[in-house]
Structure 1
Amino acid sequence: MDLCFIIKGVSFFVQTSIGIVSNWAILISYLNMVCHRYKLMPVDIVLSHLAFVNMMTLLTRGVPQTMTVFGMVHVLNDAGCKAVIYSYRIVRALSVSVTCLLSVLQAVTIKPTPGRSIAKIKDLKYLIMTLVVIWLINMAVCIAAPFFSAVPRIGKVPKFTLDLGFCHVYFPNQLGYIINGFAVSARDFTFVGIMIFASGFIMQTLYRHRTQVQNLRLSNSRNGAAESKAAKNVLRLVLLYVIFFGVDNIIWIYMLTVSQVPSIVSDMRVFFSSCYASLSPILIILSNKKIRSSMKCTLRQQITQVEIYVCHV
């Protein structure tokens, strides 16, 4: 195995490992809060959902890609390949959808006087319904993915095929290849556009809050400062997504212009498309005091249990 493959394999392994551990830590932290009867806010529910989606993104794309780079091929049959591709398409779509929902939710939260219909999104019942609807829509939209997926065949890779290493996604012709690419891009660009609009509103509100505090619902109180900090954290998440979304789509647009995609280009797209799932949980942990406190509490409990076990032994 040459140096290029080693670097590529280590990069995918590190990215996947860090992402899975970080997202799992967030989920455990929120689970610990629920077990201690801590009331989760709407933003907490969306963040926990985002952590789950990001972890599944890495499990369905990062793990198979890492195994393929290290030579562990033919680990999936056709059924397994279809299941992995379908699951990945769903969670990838959910990643942008839930991040968009998070930005809209934060915009509604920070808005001084939100309309009654818009403010319903902060209600737990409506928030859960929104998440369920997002799941159902993305499951329906991605239903065609398994029909074009199969394990790699021996021989030359046909034209208009996405070679993922562990699996191939075949398209019957160039038209189908391009339509699929633009359909996926159009969906993602729509959500990103909503994100940018919501983020612009948040930035405008924060600026007006700083210059005209007396005219806004937010104040210099602890609650106002907490809302302002939460809004800035959401802005950082959106910025992180937009950066990697831009790189991902630049590569994707290039891939649509050629019939045979070089493997290095495909690997670069996989890596950059997974960066958000890997880095966003680190940003969430560093910026969310509630999660850090829960992680410390859980760690102390584990240490205490180990000490009790050692004493009994």
Structure 2
Amino acid sequence: MAFHDLVFGIIFFIQTGVGVLGNFFLLCLYAITFLTGHRLKPIDSILVHLALSNSIVLIIKGIPQTMLALGLKNFLDNFACKFIIYIHRVARSLSLTFTCLLSVFQVITISSFTWFKLSGLKNKLPKNIVTFCLFSWILCLLMNIYMFANIQNFRENSNNTRIWHMGFCLGFTSGSFKALLLVITFSIPDFLCVGCMVMASGYLVLFLHRHHQVVQHIYSSSFIPRTSPETRATHTILVLVSTYVSFNSINSIMAIYLFQFEKYHLWLMPTSAFLAACFPAISPFVLIPHDSRILHLYYSTLGKDKLPKSSS
């Protein structure tokens, strides 16, 4: 085993383990909140699905990548190869969808646009969040069925004219034009979601800027301002979206390069896989410090009756 393979194996193992633990911690927190009779907020429903999809991304891709980096070759049969790539693609699409929904939901929540109020969207959206999340699962499961027709393991490699490596599996199409058309077609929803997130983030930045000006005015009036829950949530979602867009942009550039040249690159392939898993692994640790329920649990464990004023 080469030294760089061992390094990547350790990195994938740590990334998968830490990321899964973080996402499972969030899922357990929401489960405890629900089971103790507390009602989950609409935004919590989105975060539950986001944590679940991120966990699937890490488990379904992180474990095979770790095994591959540690020297195991051809350990998947054709069906297992197709199934893993299919589930990974579904979970990745869901992670993007729920991150986009999170930013749009926050914009509608804090927005003062009259249209949102007149259309009833501001009142209807929170009531239908769970339905929308379930619909997203069904849609992503159906949209990515094409993976079963275009993925195979190395032992069943054919003479198709367009092949791109995915580490432990191969993707193929019958020609360069069809491959390009396939990539463009299934990239359109991703680009739309990312574009939507960028626009929503722009509005959230303007909201925070206006809020900062108000806070400065309050400071000048000798009052001590308290950060509202909406502002804290907006900060968190902005960091979350920025993290996704940053890692996804770099990974997309590398993926296009790998697809274009049809070769297995010793460093680029595992690096691309690592970057693709960074957001699912990091996102719970962006959310956890900003969740007041964790602070409540911490202070109740210490035997304190209430939180400090700055965190309430």
TM-score between the two structures when normalised by the length of structure 2: 0.85
- Partners of 2:208 and 2:14 lie apart in 1 by 37
Deviation (angstroms), 1:50? 0.5
- Partners of 2:225 and 2:98 lie apart in 1 by 29
Pair 1:204-2:189 in alignment: no
Code of the aligned partner of 2:147: A
Q: What SS class does the counterpart of residue 12 from structure 2 fall into?
A: helix
Deviation (angstroms), 1:160? 2.8
- Pick from 197, 208, 230 the counterpart of residue 233 of structure 2: 230
Q: Corresponding residue for 1:268? A: 271
- Pick from 243, 246, 264 the counterpart of residue 240 of structure 1: 243
Q: Judging changes above 3 Å, is the alpha-carbon distance between structure 1 residues 108 and 291 closer, same or farther for their aligned structure 2 residues?
A: farther
Q: Identify which range, 250-259 or 288-297, moves more after superposition.
A: 288-297
Deviation (angstroms), 1:293? 4.0
How is 1:141-180 mapped onto 2 (pairs within 5 angstroms)? 141-153=143-155, 160-180=162-182
1:25–1:295 CA contact under 8 A, matched in 2: no
Q: Which runs of 5+ in 1 are unaligned?
A: 214-219, 301-313
2:24–2:51 CA contact under 8 A, matched in 1: yes
Pair 1:279-2:282 in alignment: yes
Q: Corresponding residue for 1:118? A: 121
> Can you list the C-alpha shifts for 1:194-234, whole angstroms capped at 9, x where unaligned?
00111111121222234358xxxxxx986x71111111100
> Can you list the C-alpha shifts for 1:176-203, whole angstroms capped at 9, x where unaligned?
2222222333322211110011111112
Q: Judging changes above 3 Å, is the alpha-carbon distance between structure 1 residues 299 and 251 closer, same or farther for their aligned structure 2 residues?
A: farther
Pair 1:256-2:259 in alignment: yes
CA RMSD between the two structures:
2.6
Q: Identify which range, 1-10 or 290-299, moves more after superposition.
A: 290-299
Q: Judging changes above 3 Å, is the alpha-carbon distance between structure 1 residues 296 and 8 closer, same or farther for their aligned structure 2 residues?
A: farther
- Partners of 2:280 and 2:183 lie apart in 1 by 21
Pair 1:88-2:91 in alignment: no
- Partners of 2:294 and 2:75 lie apart in 1 by 36
- Partners of 1:273 and 1:299 lie apart in 2 by 38
- Partners of 1:278 and 1:70 lie apart in 2 by 21
Q: Number of paired residues?
A: 292
2:19–2:282 CA contact under 8 A, matched in 1: yes
Q: Identify which range, 20-29 or 185-194, moves more after superposition.
A: 185-194
TM-score between the two structures when normalised by the length of structure 1: 0.85
Q: Identify which range, 75-84 or 270-279, moves more after superposition.
A: 75-84
Q: Corresponding residue for 1:303? A: none
Code of the aligned partner of 2:244: Y
Q: Which runs of 5+ in 2 are unaligned?
A: 216-223, 304-312
Code of the aligned partner of 1:256: F
- Partners of 1:172 and 1:297 lie apart in 2 by 61
